[in-house]
Structure 1
């Protein structure tokens, strides 16, 4: 569960509750999900214990009827509040008035609090000067990553391997609206497809970064191993397929997908809307117990352009 805000579950669009193997209690909980009520509110509103609410939600998540709560990456801990306001004020009231050359010169030898204050300077030359300062450390690198607004300054910071490897620096760079696409590829290009998809849908990064991340995901998907492709499709409940529209899959990926038993309504729905889904996968889905019990899923699959001929009769 997210550490920042309480989880407020809601049914995924198109969910057919009547086609799911739910107990009356689980169906009752599902009927109360509105996207604005958290788990405590659901417990109060239904009269059920928190444990029973959590059990019902776990079942709904496993069936693909509800999206799981977003969690922070374990390797990227939540950013802590920094005394940035004090340093910014020092820069704006005292240092900003200096000539550019003088600011760069002072940044090379600055000590605290001026050292951190110079991290708010808009000039890449000052950032470069800070990087030459032996006192410049991770705390300052994170300030520059979060607040500097020129691509060249961010590139200079990330060129230092020790800083680029720090989770706090990387996190701040991803949230920076001036992050260059080339730097994004360098920082995130080697990540697994599932991690790249998290960035595509993240609400913590600017839209231009999400757009660049979508292109990066598409590029990586085209060359990724079959098991990694399957992982991102299954673990995102097929949500990634919208981003991957138009990209085909190879025979090994199709075979791995056809070797699975499907119990998630949302996953089947998303695959049924994926034009590149191979005929063998559509045929395999039609044989699933989940699909045989759901008229709406059958209809979606029958309408797929790659649906086998016989089920259409």
Structure 2
């Protein structure tokens, strides 16, 4: 179960869920891409507590069910085995959809978009705003495609509006003013699905991103900065926010970021020093990953005590190229450079 990736249900309404603060906190950390094995580091909760909370979120309808365990594979009988020249190579096998509900969501969005374009868009903007305040689905979902910010403001005033509508707006609305209106609702702005589509929306203003992400965990900011589906302008802002947050984040969170990324994040943190507690936590670990050691050795701000600690690792003793890289570091101990 540690390899399972929990996926929030897009249509789930937070207002209808009976969640404890702890369960709400864990749900806020689920972005549909983080596997269970990383949740202990991200939340600080023990693994058994994470499993119990995930089971409760599934029972409440907030998460998709985990995939069933794979069935035992039986060797095919000779008469049903395809000839070698007809066998499908592994690289040609079709990939499974990331989310089984995503195709259904796309189909629904097509229906809502058609409804907006054919029946609602020809109406005057004032009339669409009135309908947005009063309508129910499917018209309410269709009006989430309206490009006029005033209509989106009216959608936000509708008592029937929920997360499914918020995610449609985050994904498709083409005006920063409308996105600001959406994020005026704290519950929507905190939703993982809304945030996922907001950062992929090229109209997301940098000021709004900074406001929403400045206080997020470093690992979440790193994911945005490295996501190829995010526009370059937003990724650039995410890197700036990550650097600013790194200077004030708790030492435990800094170490978590460095370790979970195998040190890849350090290129984005060039020139940023770390405090004594962060260095102490980094020195309290055994390092076996050559990639992590290499990235730490190339980190210009790596403190001297960390370089000295890495030089003592068994993985470094066995690989002369890693030892040489560490010995050439400007913060390497003088006696190590002479060896």
Report the TM-score, using the length of structure 1 for normalisation: 0.71
Q: Which residue of 1 aligns with 2:24?
A: none
In the alignment, the residues of structure 1 paired with residue 136 and residue 120 of structure 2 have an alpha-carbon distance, to the nearest angstrom, of 13
Q: Which residue of 1 aligns with 2:267?
A: 242
* Offset, 1:291: 0.7
SS at match of 2:158: coil
Q: Which residue of 2 aligns with 1:118?
A: 143
* Offset, 1:218: 0.8
Query: Is residue 128 of structure 2 the alignment partner of residue 128 of structure 1?
Result: no
Instruction: Deviation per CA, 1:67-94: give whole Å up to 9, x if none.
Output: xxxxx9xxx9985632000111121223
In the alignment, the residues of structure 1 paired with residue 314 and residue 120 of structure 2 have an alpha-carbon distance, to the nearest angstrom, of 69
The 1:217–1:262 alpha-carbon spacing in structure 2 relative to 1, beyond 3 Å, is same
Query: Is residue 167 of structure 2 the alignment partner of residue 142 of structure 1?
Result: yes
Q: Which residue of 1 aligns with 2:90?
A: none
Segments of structure 1 that go 5 or more residues without pairing to the other structure are 5-71
Q: How does 1:27-106 map to 2 (within 5 A)?
A: 81-82=104-105, 83-106=108-131
Higher relative contact order (CA 8 A, sep 6+): 1
Contact 1:79–1:168 (8 Å) recurs in 2: no
Farther off after superposition, 274-283 or 99-108: 99-108
Across the aligned residues of Structure 1 and Structure 2, the Cα RMSD in angstroms comes to: 2.5
Q: Which residue of 1 aligns with 2:13?
A: none
Q: Which residue of 2 aligns with 1:306?
A: 331
Q: Which residue of 2 aligns with 1:260?
A: 285
Farther off after superposition, 250-259 or 143-152: 250-259
Contact 1:77–1:167 (8 Å) recurs in 2: no
In the alignment, the residues of structure 2 paired with residue 165 and residue 256 of structure 1 have an alpha-carbon distance, to the nearest angstrom, of 30
* Offset, 1:232: 1.1
In the alignment, the residues of structure 1 paired with residue 332 and residue 256 of structure 2 have an alpha-carbon distance, to the nearest angstrom, of 24
Segments of structure 2 that go 5 or more residues without pairing to the other structure are 8-97
Q: How does 1:178-197 map to 2 (within 5 A)?
A: 178-197=203-222
In the alignment, the residues of structure 2 paired with residue 242 and residue 78 of structure 1 have an alpha-carbon distance, to the nearest angstrom, of 37
SS at match of 2:269: coil
SS at match of 2:144: helix
Q: 2:252 aligns with which of 203, 206, 227?
A: 227
Instruction: Deviation per CA, 1:196-231: give whole Å up to 9, x if none.
Output: 222222234222222221111111110112122111
Q: Which residue of 2 aligns with 1:280?
A: 305
SS at match of 1:277: coil
The 1:77–1:285 alpha-carbon spacing in structure 2 relative to 1, beyond 3 Å, is farther
Contact 1:124–1:153 (8 Å) recurs in 2: yes
The 1:167–1:300 alpha-carbon spacing in structure 2 relative to 1, beyond 3 Å, is same
Farther off after superposition, 291-300 or 204-213: 204-213
The 1:141–1:203 alpha-carbon spacing in structure 2 relative to 1, beyond 3 Å, is same
Residue correspondences, number:
244
Report the TM-score, using the length of structure 2 for normalisation: 0.66
In the alignment, the residues of structure 2 paired with residue 112 and residue 236 of structure 1 have an alpha-carbon distance, to the nearest angstrom, of 42
Q: Which residue of 2 aligns with 1:13?
A: none
Contact 1:77–1:168 (8 Å) recurs in 2: no
In the alignment, the residues of structure 1 paired with residue 320 and residue 247 of structure 2 have an alpha-carbon distance, to the nearest angstrom, of 34
Q: Which residue of 1 aligns with 2:236?
A: 211
SS at match of 1:88: helix
